Amino acid sequence: MIVTSTEFKINLGKYLDLVDREEIIITRNGKRVAKLVEAGDKSDLIKALKGVLPVDASMENAKEERLARK
């Protein structure tokens, strides 16, 4: 479902009830700015990261890399 940011803001409760059945795409000035998905659904995140993260990725490696940038 696609809704404007104004519509989303006015009817937040309605869209929180609907999100367990379908994702909500929020637009501003006709452009997509956000996607609201069910909290328990991490499959899209996992699919998005597949092939992007190195095989040896870990929290420790990420922390070291982030600190090295400072």
At 65 the pLDDT is 83
List the beta strands (DSSP E) in the chain.
Answer: 2-4, 24-28, 31-36
CATH number of the domain that residue 23 is part of: 3.40.1620.10
* Domains in the chain, number: 1
Q: What is the pTM of this model?
A: 0.58
* Integer Cα distance of 66 and 36 in angstroms: 28
At 51 the pLDDT is 72
At 57 the pLDDT is 76
Q: Containing domain of residue 23, as a range?
A: 2-69
pLDDT in tens, the chain (70 residues): 999 999 999 999 999 999 989 999 999 999 999 999 888 766 777 777 777 767 777 888 888 888 898 7
Model confidence pLDDT, tens digit, residues 40-54: 766 777 777 777 767
